[in-house]
Structure 1
Amino acid sequence: MVTVHPMPLAEAADGTALHYEVHGSGRPLVLLSGQSNSHRWWDPVRDDFAAAYRTVVLDWRGTGESGHPETDSYSTPGFARDVVAVLDHAGIERAHVYGTSMGGRVAQWIAADHPGRVDRLVLGCTSPGPPHGIERGPEVRAALSQPDAAAANRALKELMYTPGWIARQGEGAVFHTLGDPAMPPHARRRHLRASARHDSWDALPRITAPTLVVHGTDDVFNPTANAPLLTERIPGARMRLVPGARHAYFEEFADIATPLVLGFLAEEGAEGA
Protein backbone atom coordinates (compact mmCIF):
# COMPACT_ATOMS: atom_id res chain seq x y z
CA MET A 1 0.00 0.00 0.00
CA VAL A 2 1.27 3.48 -0.92
CA THR A 3 1.90 5.73 2.05
CA VAL A 4 -0.02 9.04 1.97
CA HIS A 5 1.39 11.97 3.90
CA PRO A 6 -1.26 14.67 4.57
CA MET A 7 0.41 18.07 4.49
CA PRO A 8 -0.56 21.54 5.70
CA LEU A 9 -0.87 24.28 3.11
CA ALA A 10 2.25 25.87 1.68
CA GLU A 11 2.28 29.61 1.03
CA ALA A 12 3.31 31.39 -2.15
CA ALA A 13 5.37 34.58 -2.08
CA ASP A 14 2.18 36.66 -2.41
CA GLY A 15 0.49 34.78 0.43
CA THR A 16 -1.67 32.50 -1.73
CA ALA A 17 -2.33 29.15 -0.02
CA LEU A 18 -1.02 26.17 -2.01
CA HIS A 19 -2.51 22.73 -1.37
CA TYR A 20 -0.31 19.71 -2.01
CA GLU A 21 -0.08 16.05 -1.13
CA VAL A 22 2.85 13.68 -0.74
CA HIS A 23 2.43 10.00 -1.60
CA GLY A 24 4.94 7.20 -1.20
CA SER A 25 8.56 7.36 -0.14
CA GLY A 26 12.02 7.50 -1.63
CA ARG A 27 13.51 10.07 -3.97
CA PRO A 28 11.22 13.07 -4.62
CA LEU A 29 9.18 13.34 -7.82
CA VAL A 30 6.89 16.28 -8.61
CA LEU A 31 3.94 15.66 -10.95
CA LEU A 32 2.49 18.79 -12.57
CA SER A 33 -1.03 18.91 -14.01
CA GLY A 34 -2.55 20.58 -17.04
CA GLN A 35 -4.27 23.93 -17.35
CA SER A 36 -7.36 24.52 -15.20
CA ASN A 37 -6.86 21.16 -13.47
CA SER A 38 -6.16 20.22 -9.88
CA HIS A 39 -3.91 17.43 -8.61
CA ARG A 40 -6.73 15.01 -9.48
CA TRP A 41 -5.32 15.01 -13.05
CA TRP A 42 -2.83 12.39 -11.84
CA ASP A 43 -5.26 10.17 -9.91
CA PRO A 44 -5.37 7.30 -12.45
CA VAL A 45 -1.57 6.83 -12.49
CA ARG A 46 -0.25 8.51 -9.35
CA ASP A 47 0.06 5.30 -7.33
CA ASP A 48 2.28 3.78 -10.00
CA PHE A 49 4.79 6.59 -9.44
CA ALA A 50 4.30 6.66 -5.67
CA ALA A 51 5.29 2.99 -5.51
CA ALA A 52 8.81 4.06 -6.48
CA TYR A 53 9.10 7.72 -5.45
CA ARG A 54 8.10 10.24 -2.81
CA THR A 55 5.56 11.78 -5.14
CA VAL A 56 4.32 15.37 -4.77
CA VAL A 57 1.11 16.58 -6.44
CA LEU A 58 -0.38 20.04 -6.00
CA ASP A 59 -3.36 22.20 -6.84
CA TRP A 60 -2.41 25.17 -8.99
CA ARG A 61 -3.51 28.53 -7.64
CA GLY A 62 -7.09 28.91 -8.82
CA THR A 63 -7.86 25.17 -8.56
CA GLY A 64 -8.76 22.61 -5.95
CA GLU A 65 -8.00 23.52 -2.36
CA SER A 66 -5.41 26.16 -3.19
CA GLY A 67 -6.26 29.85 -3.05
CA HIS A 68 -8.15 31.52 -5.89
CA PRO A 69 -6.77 35.08 -5.96
CA GLU A 70 -8.49 37.59 -8.24
CA THR A 71 -5.16 39.18 -9.19
CA ASP A 72 -2.78 39.15 -12.14
CA SER A 73 -0.59 36.57 -10.39
CA TYR A 74 -1.19 33.76 -12.89
CA SER A 75 1.69 33.01 -15.26
CA THR A 76 3.78 29.97 -16.10
CA PRO A 77 6.94 31.47 -14.46
CA GLY A 78 4.75 32.37 -11.46
CA PHE A 79 3.37 28.83 -11.26
CA ALA A 80 6.99 27.64 -11.28
CA ARG A 81 7.70 29.81 -8.23
CA ASP A 82 4.63 28.31 -6.56
CA VAL A 83 6.06 24.83 -7.12
CA VAL A 84 9.36 25.92 -5.55
CA ALA A 85 7.39 27.24 -2.56
CA VAL A 86 5.76 23.82 -2.19
CA LEU A 87 9.15 22.10 -2.36
CA ASP A 88 10.49 24.46 0.30
CA HIS A 89 7.51 23.77 2.54
CA ALA A 90 7.92 20.01 2.10
CA GLY A 91 11.63 20.22 2.91
CA ILE A 92 12.64 18.99 -0.55
CA GLU A 93 15.82 20.52 -1.92
CA ARG A 94 15.93 18.67 -5.23
CA ALA A 95 13.44 16.53 -7.16
CA HIS A 96 12.62 14.91 -10.46
CA VAL A 97 9.98 17.01 -12.25
CA TYR A 98 7.38 15.54 -14.63
CA GLY A 99 5.02 18.10 -16.15
CA THR A 100 2.28 17.46 -18.70
CA SER A 101 0.45 19.99 -20.90
CA MET A 102 0.55 23.37 -19.07
CA GLY A 103 2.41 21.56 -16.30
CA GLY A 104 5.11 20.89 -18.86
CA ARG A 105 5.29 24.61 -19.63
CA VAL A 106 5.71 25.31 -15.94
CA ALA A 107 8.32 22.56 -15.64
CA GLN A 108 10.40 24.30 -18.32
CA TRP A 109 10.63 27.40 -16.12
CA ILE A 110 11.48 25.40 -13.00
CA ALA A 111 14.38 23.75 -14.81
CA ALA A 112 15.57 26.99 -16.46
CA ASP A 113 15.15 29.40 -13.52
CA HIS A 114 15.76 27.02 -10.59
CA PRO A 115 18.27 24.50 -11.98
CA GLY A 116 19.50 23.44 -8.56
CA ARG A 117 16.04 22.14 -7.67
CA VAL A 118 15.67 19.75 -10.63
CA ASP A 119 17.31 16.36 -10.99
CA ARG A 120 15.68 14.86 -14.08
CA LEU A 121 13.02 16.53 -16.22
CA VAL A 122 10.16 14.99 -18.20
CA LEU A 123 8.09 17.22 -20.49
CA GLY A 124 4.85 15.59 -21.65
CA CYS A 125 2.45 16.78 -24.38
CA THR A 126 3.69 20.35 -24.04
CA SER A 127 5.06 23.29 -26.01
CA PRO A 128 7.55 26.18 -25.89
CA GLY A 129 4.64 28.60 -26.36
CA PRO A 130 2.91 30.39 -29.24
CA PRO A 131 5.73 32.60 -30.57
CA HIS A 132 7.82 29.58 -31.67
CA GLY A 133 5.60 26.58 -30.98
CA ILE A 134 2.98 24.93 -33.16
CA GLU A 135 -0.52 25.98 -32.13
CA ARG A 136 -3.68 23.91 -32.41
CA GLY A 137 -5.68 24.40 -35.60
CA PRO A 138 -8.78 26.58 -36.04
CA GLU A 139 -11.04 23.52 -36.19
CA VAL A 140 -9.90 22.49 -32.69
CA ARG A 141 -10.47 25.98 -31.35
CA ALA A 142 -13.96 26.05 -32.90
CA ALA A 143 -14.86 22.68 -31.37
CA LEU A 144 -13.82 23.82 -27.91
CA SER A 145 -15.55 27.21 -28.08
CA GLN A 146 -18.95 26.07 -29.40
CA PRO A 147 -21.87 27.43 -27.33
CA ASP A 148 -23.26 23.98 -26.52
CA ALA A 149 -21.35 23.14 -23.32
CA ALA A 150 -22.03 19.41 -23.58
CA ALA A 151 -20.74 19.33 -27.17
CA ALA A 152 -17.64 21.30 -26.20
CA ASN A 153 -17.01 18.84 -23.36
CA ARG A 154 -17.34 15.90 -25.75
CA ALA A 155 -14.89 17.58 -28.12
CA LEU A 156 -12.37 18.06 -25.30
CA LYS A 157 -12.74 14.43 -24.23
CA GLU A 158 -12.06 13.28 -27.80
CA LEU A 159 -8.96 15.46 -27.96
CA MET A 160 -7.71 13.79 -24.81
CA TYR A 161 -8.57 10.14 -25.56
CA THR A 162 -9.26 7.84 -28.51
CA PRO A 163 -12.95 7.06 -29.19
CA GLY A 164 -12.45 3.36 -28.45
CA TRP A 165 -10.96 4.06 -25.03
CA ILE A 166 -13.76 6.49 -24.17
CA ALA A 167 -16.35 3.87 -25.14
CA ARG A 168 -14.68 1.23 -22.97
CA GLN A 169 -14.95 3.46 -19.90
CA GLY A 170 -18.74 3.24 -20.04
CA GLU A 171 -21.48 5.57 -18.89
CA GLY A 172 -20.74 7.56 -15.77
CA ALA A 173 -16.97 7.31 -16.12
CA VAL A 174 -15.07 10.13 -14.43
CA PHE A 175 -12.36 11.88 -16.43
CA HIS A 176 -9.97 13.94 -14.33
CA THR A 177 -8.33 15.76 -17.25
CA LEU A 178 -11.31 17.84 -18.36
CA GLY A 179 -10.86 20.69 -15.88
CA ASP A 180 -11.57 21.31 -12.21
CA PRO A 181 -15.40 21.56 -12.06
CA ALA A 182 -15.26 23.77 -8.95
CA MET A 183 -12.82 26.26 -10.46
CA PRO A 184 -14.21 29.83 -10.41
CA PRO A 185 -14.59 31.57 -13.78
CA HIS A 186 -12.04 34.29 -12.98
CA ALA A 187 -9.37 31.68 -12.27
CA ARG A 188 -10.24 29.69 -15.40
CA ARG A 189 -9.78 32.81 -17.54
CA ARG A 190 -6.44 33.55 -15.89
CA HIS A 191 -5.20 29.99 -16.42
CA LEU A 192 -6.09 30.22 -20.10
CA ARG A 193 -4.25 33.53 -20.43
CA ALA A 194 -1.20 32.27 -18.52
CA SER A 195 -0.83 29.25 -20.79
CA ALA A 196 -1.42 31.31 -23.94
CA ARG A 197 1.28 33.81 -22.94
CA HIS A 198 3.89 31.15 -22.22
CA ASP A 199 7.13 31.72 -24.13
CA SER A 200 10.15 29.77 -22.89
CA TRP A 201 12.06 29.73 -26.18
CA ASP A 202 15.01 31.83 -25.00
CA ALA A 203 15.14 30.00 -21.66
CA LEU A 204 15.17 26.44 -23.00
CA PRO A 205 18.92 26.35 -23.82
CA ARG A 206 19.61 27.14 -20.15
CA ILE A 207 18.11 23.82 -19.02
CA THR A 208 20.87 21.56 -17.73
CA ALA A 209 18.80 18.70 -16.27
CA PRO A 210 18.70 15.47 -18.30
CA THR A 211 15.43 15.83 -20.21
CA LEU A 212 12.95 13.45 -21.79
CA VAL A 213 10.24 14.83 -24.10
CA VAL A 214 7.15 12.58 -24.46
CA HIS A 215 4.20 13.13 -26.78
CA GLY A 216 1.39 11.17 -28.40
CA THR A 217 1.63 10.84 -32.17
CA ASP A 218 -2.06 11.72 -32.61
CA ASP A 219 -2.18 14.79 -30.35
CA VAL A 220 -3.83 17.74 -32.12
CA PHE A 221 -4.82 19.52 -28.91
CA ASN A 222 -1.14 20.36 -28.39
CA PRO A 223 0.31 19.28 -31.74
CA THR A 224 2.96 16.59 -31.76
CA ALA A 225 5.24 18.83 -33.84
CA ASN A 226 6.10 20.68 -30.61
CA ALA A 227 8.01 17.64 -29.31
CA PRO A 228 10.95 17.89 -31.74
CA LEU A 229 11.06 21.66 -31.24
CA LEU A 230 11.61 21.20 -27.50
CA THR A 231 14.02 18.32 -28.03
CA GLU A 232 16.22 20.31 -30.39
CA ARG A 233 16.15 23.40 -28.19
CA ILE A 234 17.07 21.74 -24.87
CA PRO A 235 20.70 20.57 -24.71
CA GLY A 236 20.95 16.78 -24.74
CA ALA A 237 17.19 16.20 -24.62
CA ARG A 238 15.69 12.94 -25.88
CA MET A 239 12.27 12.40 -27.44
CA ARG A 240 9.88 9.46 -27.28
CA LEU A 241 6.55 9.38 -29.12
CA VAL A 242 3.66 7.15 -28.03
CA PRO A 243 2.00 5.70 -31.16
CA GLY A 244 -1.72 6.36 -31.50
CA ALA A 245 -1.95 8.45 -28.34
CA ARG A 246 -3.79 11.75 -28.03
CA HIS A 247 -3.24 14.45 -25.40
CA ALA A 248 -3.83 12.31 -22.30
CA TYR A 249 -1.25 9.72 -23.41
CA PHE A 250 -0.09 9.31 -19.79
CA GLU A 251 -3.48 7.89 -18.77
CA GLU A 252 -4.82 5.96 -21.76
CA PHE A 253 -1.40 4.60 -22.70
CA ALA A 254 -0.08 4.29 -19.15
CA ASP A 255 1.14 0.76 -19.86
CA ILE A 256 3.66 2.32 -22.28
CA ALA A 257 4.20 5.81 -20.88
CA THR A 258 4.65 5.07 -17.19
CA PRO A 259 7.42 2.45 -17.61
CA LEU A 260 9.06 4.76 -20.15
CA VAL A 261 9.19 7.64 -17.66
CA LEU A 262 10.14 5.46 -14.71
CA GLY A 263 12.97 3.96 -16.72
CA PHE A 264 14.30 7.39 -17.61
CA LEU A 265 14.12 8.60 -14.00
CA ALA A 266 15.94 5.51 -12.77
CA GLU A 267 18.86 5.78 -15.18
CA GLU A 268 22.36 5.69 -13.73
CA GLY A 269 23.46 9.14 -12.60
CA ALA A 270 19.98 10.24 -11.47
CA GLU A 271 20.17 11.85 -8.06
CA GLY A 272 17.55 12.81 -5.52
CA ALA A 273 17.42 14.65 -2.26
Structure 2
Amino acid sequence: MTFAKSFDGAPIYFETHGRGVPLIFSAGMGGGGGFWTPQIAELAKQYQVIVYDHVGTARSRGDAPVGRSIAGMAGDIASVLDHLGHDKAHVVGHAIGGIVGLELAMTQPERLRSVTVVNGWGRADAFLRRCFEVRKEILRVSGPKAYVRAQPLFLFPPQWIAENEAKLDADEAHIVSHFPPAETMNARIEMFLAFNPGARLQAIKAPVLVTTAADDALVPAYLTRELAAAIPGATLREVSYGAHAFTAVTPDVFNTMLLAFLAGVDRS
Protein backbone atom coordinates (compact mmCIF):
# COMPACT_ATOMS: atom_id res chain seq x y z
CA MET A 1 0.00 0.00 0.00
CA THR A 2 1.17 3.51 -0.83
CA PHE A 3 0.91 6.42 1.58
CA ALA A 4 1.61 10.13 1.54
CA LYS A 5 1.96 12.20 4.72
CA SER A 6 -0.38 15.01 5.70
CA PHE A 7 0.89 18.33 7.09
CA ASP A 8 0.55 16.90 10.62
CA GLY A 9 2.13 13.55 9.79
CA ALA A 10 -1.06 11.51 9.40
CA PRO A 11 -0.96 8.75 6.75
CA ILE A 12 -2.94 9.23 3.54
CA TYR A 13 -3.53 6.06 1.54
CA PHE A 14 -3.72 6.62 -2.22
CA GLU A 15 -3.69 4.77 -5.52
CA THR A 16 -2.85 5.89 -9.05
CA HIS A 17 -4.27 4.50 -12.30
CA GLY A 18 -3.28 5.39 -15.85
CA ARG A 19 -1.03 8.16 -17.14
CA GLY A 20 -1.39 11.74 -18.20
CA VAL A 21 -2.64 14.93 -16.59
CA PRO A 22 -3.36 14.22 -12.90
CA LEU A 23 -7.00 13.92 -11.86
CA ILE A 24 -7.62 13.42 -8.14
CA PHE A 25 -10.95 12.18 -6.77
CA SER A 26 -12.10 13.01 -3.23
CA ALA A 27 -14.90 10.94 -1.68
CA GLY A 28 -17.90 12.01 0.37
CA MET A 29 -18.82 11.39 4.01
CA GLY A 30 -17.46 7.83 4.15
CA GLY A 31 -14.08 9.06 2.97
CA GLY A 32 -12.99 5.94 1.08
CA GLY A 33 -11.53 6.27 -2.40
CA GLY A 34 -13.31 3.08 -3.45
CA PHE A 35 -16.43 5.20 -3.96
CA TRP A 36 -14.94 6.21 -7.32
CA THR A 37 -14.49 2.67 -8.67
CA PRO A 38 -17.12 3.25 -11.42
CA GLN A 39 -14.98 6.14 -12.73
CA ILE A 40 -11.45 4.77 -12.52
CA ALA A 41 -11.15 2.56 -15.61
CA GLU A 42 -12.78 5.01 -18.01
CA LEU A 43 -11.03 8.14 -16.79
CA ALA A 44 -7.65 6.37 -16.54
CA LYS A 45 -7.67 5.95 -20.33
CA GLN A 46 -6.88 9.66 -20.62
CA TYR A 47 -5.67 10.83 -17.19
CA GLN A 48 -3.55 9.76 -14.27
CA VAL A 49 -6.40 9.00 -11.90
CA ILE A 50 -5.60 9.40 -8.20
CA VAL A 51 -7.97 8.16 -5.51
CA TYR A 52 -7.26 8.47 -1.80
CA ASP A 53 -8.85 7.77 1.57
CA HIS A 54 -9.52 10.80 3.75
CA VAL A 55 -7.36 10.98 6.86
CA GLY A 56 -9.10 9.11 9.67
CA THR A 57 -11.13 6.86 7.35
CA ALA A 58 -10.71 3.51 5.56
CA ARG A 59 -7.01 2.74 4.96
CA SER A 60 -5.90 6.20 6.16
CA ARG A 61 -7.09 5.66 9.72
CA GLY A 62 -3.67 5.22 11.34
CA ASP A 63 -3.32 7.38 14.44
CA ALA A 64 -5.15 10.32 12.90
CA PRO A 65 -6.59 12.90 15.27
CA VAL A 66 -10.36 13.11 15.48
CA GLY A 67 -10.58 16.82 14.73
CA ARG A 68 -9.54 18.06 11.30
CA SER A 69 -10.39 21.29 9.54
CA ILE A 70 -11.68 21.70 6.01
CA ALA A 71 -8.53 23.69 5.25
CA GLY A 72 -6.46 20.80 6.58
CA MET A 73 -8.34 18.37 4.35
CA ALA A 74 -7.66 20.61 1.36
CA GLY A 75 -4.02 20.46 2.41
CA ASP A 76 -4.21 16.67 2.32
CA ILE A 77 -4.96 16.84 -1.41
CA ALA A 78 -1.92 19.07 -1.85
CA SER A 79 0.16 16.58 0.17
CA VAL A 80 -0.80 13.71 -2.16
CA LEU A 81 0.05 15.85 -5.19
CA ASP A 82 3.39 16.82 -3.62
CA HIS A 83 4.18 13.16 -2.94
CA LEU A 84 3.60 12.40 -6.63
CA GLY A 85 5.53 15.45 -7.82
CA HIS A 86 2.54 17.27 -9.33
CA ASP A 87 2.17 21.01 -9.02
CA LYS A 88 -1.54 20.98 -9.94
CA ALA A 89 -4.40 18.67 -10.87
CA HIS A 90 -8.06 18.47 -11.77
CA VAL A 91 -9.96 17.86 -8.52
CA VAL A 92 -13.30 16.02 -8.44
CA GLY A 93 -15.18 15.74 -5.16
CA HIS A 94 -18.44 14.14 -4.11
CA ALA A 95 -20.48 16.08 -1.52
CA ILE A 96 -17.98 16.88 1.25
CA GLY A 97 -15.17 15.94 -1.10
CA GLY A 98 -16.46 18.72 -3.34
CA ILE A 99 -16.41 21.13 -0.41
CA VAL A 100 -12.76 20.22 0.16
CA GLY A 101 -12.09 20.93 -3.52
CA LEU A 102 -13.74 24.34 -3.21
CA GLU A 103 -11.65 25.10 -0.13
CA LEU A 104 -8.52 24.26 -2.12
CA ALA A 105 -9.72 26.57 -4.89
CA MET A 106 -10.16 29.39 -2.37
CA THR A 107 -6.93 28.88 -0.42
CA GLN A 108 -4.43 27.28 -2.83
CA PRO A 109 -5.75 28.09 -6.32
CA GLU A 110 -2.36 27.44 -7.90
CA ARG A 111 -2.82 23.71 -7.22
CA LEU A 112 -5.93 23.41 -9.39
CA ARG A 113 -6.55 22.88 -13.08
CA SER A 114 -10.27 22.69 -12.34
CA VAL A 115 -12.67 21.60 -9.63
CA THR A 116 -15.81 19.48 -10.01
CA VAL A 117 -18.38 19.36 -7.22
CA VAL A 118 -20.83 16.44 -7.30
CA ASN A 119 -24.03 16.87 -5.24
CA GLY A 120 -22.45 19.49 -3.01
CA TRP A 121 -23.65 22.53 -1.13
CA GLY A 122 -22.48 25.99 -0.10
CA ARG A 123 -24.55 26.15 3.08
CA ALA A 124 -26.42 23.61 5.16
CA ASP A 125 -30.08 24.51 5.49
CA ALA A 126 -32.66 23.09 7.91
CA PHE A 127 -33.45 20.11 5.66
CA LEU A 128 -29.82 19.02 5.27
CA ARG A 129 -29.19 19.45 8.99
CA ARG A 130 -32.21 17.29 9.81
CA CYS A 131 -30.94 14.51 7.51
CA PHE A 132 -27.54 14.45 9.17
CA GLU A 133 -29.03 14.66 12.65
CA VAL A 134 -30.96 11.48 11.86
CA ARG A 135 -27.81 9.77 10.59
CA LYS A 136 -25.88 10.79 13.71
CA GLU A 137 -28.66 9.46 15.93
CA ILE A 138 -28.65 6.12 14.11
CA LEU A 139 -24.90 5.89 14.67
CA ARG A 140 -25.17 6.90 18.33
CA VAL A 141 -28.05 4.61 19.26
CA SER A 142 -27.60 1.60 16.98
CA GLY A 143 -23.95 1.70 15.91
CA PRO A 144 -22.03 1.46 12.62
CA LYS A 145 -23.84 -1.61 11.26
CA ALA A 146 -27.22 0.13 11.44
CA TYR A 147 -25.73 3.34 10.04
CA VAL A 148 -24.33 1.47 7.04
CA ARG A 149 -27.58 -0.47 6.61
CA ALA A 150 -29.51 2.80 6.41
CA GLN A 151 -26.99 4.55 4.18
CA PRO A 152 -28.42 3.43 0.80
CA LEU A 153 -31.71 5.12 1.70
CA PHE A 154 -29.88 8.45 1.58
CA LEU A 155 -27.69 7.66 -1.43
CA PHE A 156 -29.67 5.75 -4.07
CA PRO A 157 -33.06 5.82 -5.85
CA PRO A 158 -35.65 3.45 -4.30
CA GLN A 159 -36.02 1.26 -7.37
CA TRP A 160 -32.24 0.96 -7.76
CA ILE A 161 -32.00 -0.22 -4.15
CA ALA A 162 -34.67 -2.85 -4.78
CA GLU A 163 -32.93 -4.08 -7.92
CA ASN A 164 -29.43 -4.15 -6.38
CA GLU A 165 -30.12 -5.70 -2.98
CA ALA A 166 -27.52 -8.45 -3.42
CA LYS A 167 -24.78 -5.96 -4.31
CA LEU A 168 -25.66 -3.69 -1.38
CA ASP A 169 -25.64 -6.64 1.02
CA ALA A 170 -22.24 -7.73 -0.27
CA ASP A 171 -20.82 -4.22 0.09
CA GLU A 172 -22.22 -3.77 3.59
CA ALA A 173 -19.77 -6.05 5.42
CA HIS A 174 -16.79 -4.41 3.73
CA ILE A 175 -18.00 -0.90 4.58
CA VAL A 176 -18.66 -1.84 8.21
CA SER A 177 -15.18 -3.37 8.56
CA HIS A 178 -13.60 -0.10 7.35
CA PHE A 179 -15.98 2.24 9.17
CA PRO A 180 -14.32 5.16 10.99
CA PRO A 181 -14.72 5.53 14.76
CA ALA A 182 -18.02 7.17 15.68
CA GLU A 183 -16.30 10.24 17.09
CA THR A 184 -14.45 10.73 13.79
CA MET A 185 -17.64 10.45 11.75
CA ASN A 186 -19.53 12.84 14.04
CA ALA A 187 -16.70 15.37 13.88
CA ARG A 188 -16.75 15.16 10.08
CA ILE A 189 -20.50 15.74 9.97
CA GLU A 190 -20.30 18.78 12.23
CA MET A 191 -17.39 20.25 10.30
CA PHE A 192 -19.15 20.07 6.97
CA LEU A 193 -22.50 21.26 8.25
CA ALA A 194 -20.63 24.35 9.47
CA PHE A 195 -19.22 25.06 5.99
CA ASN A 196 -20.57 28.43 4.84
CA PRO A 197 -18.02 30.26 2.65
CA GLY A 198 -20.44 33.00 1.59
CA ALA A 199 -18.75 35.68 -0.48
CA ARG A 200 -15.46 33.75 -0.52
CA LEU A 201 -16.88 31.65 -3.36
CA GLN A 202 -16.84 34.72 -5.61
CA ALA A 203 -13.03 34.72 -5.53
CA ILE A 204 -12.72 31.29 -7.19
CA LYS A 205 -10.97 31.66 -10.54
CA ALA A 206 -10.52 28.00 -11.52
CA PRO A 207 -12.96 26.41 -13.98
CA VAL A 208 -15.76 24.82 -11.94
CA LEU A 209 -18.27 22.11 -12.84
CA VAL A 210 -21.17 21.63 -10.43
CA THR A 211 -23.38 18.57 -10.91
CA THR A 212 -26.58 17.48 -9.22
CA ALA A 213 -29.39 14.95 -9.49
CA ALA A 214 -32.99 16.13 -9.40
CA ASP A 215 -33.95 13.15 -7.23
CA ASP A 216 -31.19 13.59 -4.62
CA ALA A 217 -32.96 13.03 -1.29
CA LEU A 218 -29.97 13.96 0.89
CA VAL A 219 -28.55 17.11 -0.71
CA PRO A 220 -31.49 18.59 -2.62
CA ALA A 221 -30.79 19.92 -6.10
CA TYR A 222 -31.82 23.42 -5.05
CA LEU A 223 -28.83 23.62 -2.69
CA THR A 224 -26.44 22.56 -5.44
CA ARG A 225 -27.99 25.02 -7.89
CA GLU A 226 -27.56 27.74 -5.29
CA LEU A 227 -23.89 26.80 -4.93
CA ALA A 228 -23.32 26.96 -8.70
CA ALA A 229 -24.98 30.39 -8.88
CA ALA A 230 -22.60 31.72 -6.22
CA ILE A 231 -19.42 30.78 -8.15
CA PRO A 232 -18.59 33.11 -11.06
CA GLY A 233 -18.55 31.24 -14.37
CA ALA A 234 -19.43 27.85 -12.86
CA THR A 235 -20.98 25.29 -15.19
CA LEU A 236 -24.08 23.52 -13.80
CA ARG A 237 -25.16 20.11 -15.06
CA GLU A 238 -28.25 18.34 -13.71
CA VAL A 239 -29.43 14.78 -14.27
CA SER A 240 -32.96 13.57 -13.64
CA TYR A 241 -32.14 10.19 -12.08
CA GLY A 242 -29.50 8.67 -9.82
CA ALA A 243 -29.98 10.44 -6.48
CA HIS A 244 -27.06 11.38 -4.23
CA ALA A 245 -24.75 8.72 -5.66
CA PHE A 246 -25.63 9.09 -9.34
CA THR A 247 -21.92 8.64 -10.16
CA ALA A 248 -22.43 4.99 -9.18
CA VAL A 249 -26.03 4.56 -10.35
CA THR A 250 -25.43 5.97 -13.86
CA PRO A 251 -21.63 6.04 -14.19
CA ASP A 252 -21.62 6.34 -17.98
CA VAL A 253 -23.69 9.53 -17.74
CA PHE A 254 -21.36 11.08 -15.20
CA ASN A 255 -18.16 9.91 -16.88
CA THR A 256 -19.23 11.39 -20.22
CA MET A 257 -20.21 14.66 -18.54
CA LEU A 258 -16.92 14.89 -16.66
CA LEU A 259 -14.75 14.00 -19.65
CA ALA A 260 -16.41 16.69 -21.76
CA PHE A 261 -15.78 19.31 -19.08
CA LEU A 262 -12.16 18.28 -18.54
CA ALA A 263 -11.46 18.24 -22.28
CA GLY A 264 -12.76 21.81 -22.57
CA VAL A 265 -10.55 22.95 -19.69
CA ASP A 266 -7.47 21.21 -21.07
CA ARG A 267 -8.01 22.69 -24.54
CA SER A 268 -8.15 26.20 -23.10
The corresponding residue for 2:105 is 111
2:243 is matched with which residue: 243, 246, 257? 246
The normalised TM-score by structure 1 is: 0.86
CA contact (8 A) 1:75 1:195 kept: no
The normalised TM-score by structure 2 is: 0.88
Alignment of 1:76-115 (within 5 A): 76-115=70-109
> 3-state DSSP class of the match of 2:260?
helix
Whole-Å separation in 2 of the counterparts to 1:46 and 1:37: 16
Deviation at 1:61, TM superposition (A): 0.7
Whole-Å separation in 2 of the counterparts to 1:168 and 1:79: 35
How many positions carry a matched residue from both structures? 263
In structure 2, runs of 5+ residues without a counterpart are none
Whole-Å separation in 1 of the counterparts to 2:127 and 2:74: 22
CA contact (8 A) 1:125 1:224 kept: yes
C-alpha offsets along residues 128-174 of structure 1, whole Å, 9 cap, x if unaligned?
A: 133xx574264674476344566654442022111221222242342
Alignment of 1:54-73 (within 5 A): 54-69=48-63, 71=65, 73=67
Higher mean C-alpha displacement, 116-125 vs 144-153: 144-153
C-alpha offsets along residues 97-127 of structure 1, whole Å, 9 cap, x if unaligned?
A: 1111110110101111111111122111011
Alignment of 1:26-37 (within 5 A): 26-37=20-31
Q: Say if 2:184 is the partner of 1:187.
A: yes
Q: Say if 2:118 is the partner of 1:124.
A: yes
The corresponding residue for 1:237 is 234
1:163 is matched with which residue: 134, 158, 168? 158
- Kindly report the root-mean-square deviation, in angstroms, between the aligned alpha carbons of the 2 structures: 2.5
Deviation at 1:220, TM superposition (A): 2.2
Change (3 A) 1:220 1:93: same
Change (3 A) 1:187 1:243: same
CA contact (8 A) 1:134 1:226 kept: no
> 3-state DSSP class of the match of 1:266?
helix
Deviation at 1:177, TM superposition (A): 11
**Structure with the higher helix share, 1 or 2:** 2
Change (3 A) 1:86 1:139: closer
C-alpha offsets along residues 10-38 of structure 1, whole Å, 9 cap, x if unaligned?
A: 11111111111111111110101001321
Whole-Å separation in 1 of the counterparts to 2:174 and 2:198: 26
Higher mean C-alpha displacement, 170-179 vs 94-103: 170-179
CA contact (8 A) 1:161 1:252 kept: yes
Change (3 A) 1:187 1:152: closer
In structure 1, runs of 5+ residues without a counterpart are 1-5
> 3-state DSSP class of the match of 1:248?
helix
1:39 is matched with which residue: 33, 44, 68? 33
Which amino acid letter does the alignment assign opposite residue 187 of structure 2? R
Alignment of 1:205-220 (within 5 A): 205-220=202-217
> 3-state DSSP class of the match of 1:34?
coil
